[in-house]
Amino acid sequence: MQDREISTILSVRNLNVRFGRSSIPAVSEVSFDLGRERLGIVGESGSGKSTTGRAIMRLLSPSAEISAERFDLAGNPLLEKTERQMGALRGKEMALIMQDPRYSLNPVLTIGRQVAEAARLHLGLGRAQAMESARSMLQRVRISDADRVMALYPHQISGGMGQRVMIAMMLLAKPKLVIADEPTSALDVSVRKDVLVLLDELVRENDSGLILISHDIRMVAAFCERILVMYAGRVVETLTSLDDARHPYTRGLIAALPDPRHPVRRLKVLDRKALEAEAAQ
């Protein structure tokens, strides 16, 4: 019990998020604990996955009302932090990798400058050391011609390369918690797996906890030990294997994705009737 407490990175109890006067909460009564492990959050579009991830980073729009019985990062209540304190945690203790690196990277700074800036900020390095650290981190994410890439601007690199740069920048300070929100959805299919394998490798090397958010339940199942299935803001099921899926919604998510073994199978529409029947019970 004691060990479990110590190794818990994130503890969430009854998280609720509501935007403005909206009558329907975006996130309702979500609870989970995260240790040094990989947790997936899946669900269809609008189910509250990103809102959950952004709430943890405290990066929701000002109209969002957040409440939780517990919302702790390594025992520290996140909801009590000032914006300034949150700023110090972001990047250093917790990092968010988003879908499209083109919108996350600064368009007017070279790749080298922005990775080095992250090294200066989070590792407290001087200019020359920060450049050296940026170079080795870019090599670590398998950018072989790091010197050439460092001189380029974000629009001059591919999406896959951009996401490697983001991973390098975000994981530089070895944050305890990494949240990856659809990290490969904007990338070419051919590079998706490589980017995920790399992310997984670095997260394990750093002994961080990972929350991998995606609508692709099979992809998440391949990387995570545990999966939370969200529907309409709620966790409807927690799985350790897709074979254990009981909820009709989860089965719908599994069936809605093309099975790599049967690539031409028709896509199924989620079974609303079964869902409503379940909800009525």
Ligand X SMILES: Nc1ncnc2c1ncn2[C@@H]1O[C@H](COP(=O)(O)OP(=O)(O)O)[C@@H](O)[C@H]1O
Q: Contact at 8 Å (CB) between 128 and 158?
A: no
Give min distance, CB of 21 to ligand X, in A: 10
Q: What angle do CA 196, 240, 272 make, to 5 degrees?
A: 95
Give min distance, CB of 269 to ligand X, in A: 18
Q: CB nearer to Mg ion: give 44 or 194.
A: 44
Outline where the chain has alpha helix (H): 2-7, 49-57, 83-89, 101-104, 111-123, 127-140, 146-150, 159-171, 189-206, 217-223, 248-256, 272-280
Residue 135 binding: pick among Mg ion, ligand X, none (C-beta 5-8 Å cut-off by kind): none
Q: CB nearer to ligand X: give 43 or 175.
A: 43
Give min distance, CB of 115 to ligand X, in A: 27
| Interacting residues of 195 by C-beta distance below 8 A, sequence separation 6+ | 160, 163, 164, 167, 183, 184, 187
Region from 26-34, 43-51, 64-72, 187-195 binding Mg ion, contact rule CB under 5 A:
43-51
The residue within the footprint of Mg ion, chosen from 9, 25, 42, 50 (CB under 5 A), is 50
Region from 50-58, 200-208, 244-252, 270-278 binding Mg ion, contact rule CB under 5 A:
50-58
Q: CB nearer to Mg ion: give 32 or 153.
A: 32
Residue ranges in contact with ligand X by CB under 6 A:
19, 26, 43, 45-51, 61, 63
In the complex, the residues that contact Mg ion under the rule CB under 5 A are: 50
